[in-house]
Structure 1
Amino acid sequence: MHDLTGFQRDILYVIAGLDEPHGLAVKDELEDYYEQDINHGRLYPNLDGLVDKGLVEKGQLDKRTNVYTLTQRGRREIAARRDWESQYVDFSE
């Protein structure tokens, strides 16, 4: 995950947390988080990049809507990132 941008990492986390992660749902979640519009020209190339890296699979929900799911590798990368973060940040105290 070290070669991903922060935006790409955020996309992975959003996909992991949605029941039906299609492009517009991912976009809406990111817009809520960033508190600004996310244009298609930013979102979809980043989604495709995550597919190319083998972290996300792209399928079709219907003829017009793509659905995105984490691959096993994508889940491992998120888990590894969370383990790494927990070395530095621990709010359980």
Structure 2
Amino acid sequence: MYSAGARSVIDSEGRGHAPEAQVKQKTIYVNTRAVQIEGHEISFERLVELAYPGSHGDEVTFTISYTDGPEGHESGSLTPHHSVEVKNGMIFDVIRTVRS
């Protein structure tokens, strides 16, 4: 789910809710799309769902790289079942590959 402006917010686990004054929102970019999230980290699986919603067969693999991360982790890659600390403005590239 992508948000438009401040109308809705998704947390790093994919739960949607109305914005609140106390919620610390961050804008990240997933395959060039701005996404509002809350929380301090986001998982590989959540990023895949944001980039390519729906189910995927065993022949599909994903590669995730990021830039503009927090100090000490400005860029890198993310592997399945791992998370990364997020920073406002962080950029994620999620690449889908179909094995033949």
TM-score (norm 2): 0.32
Structure ranking higher in strand proportion? 2
Structure ranking higher in helix proportion? 1
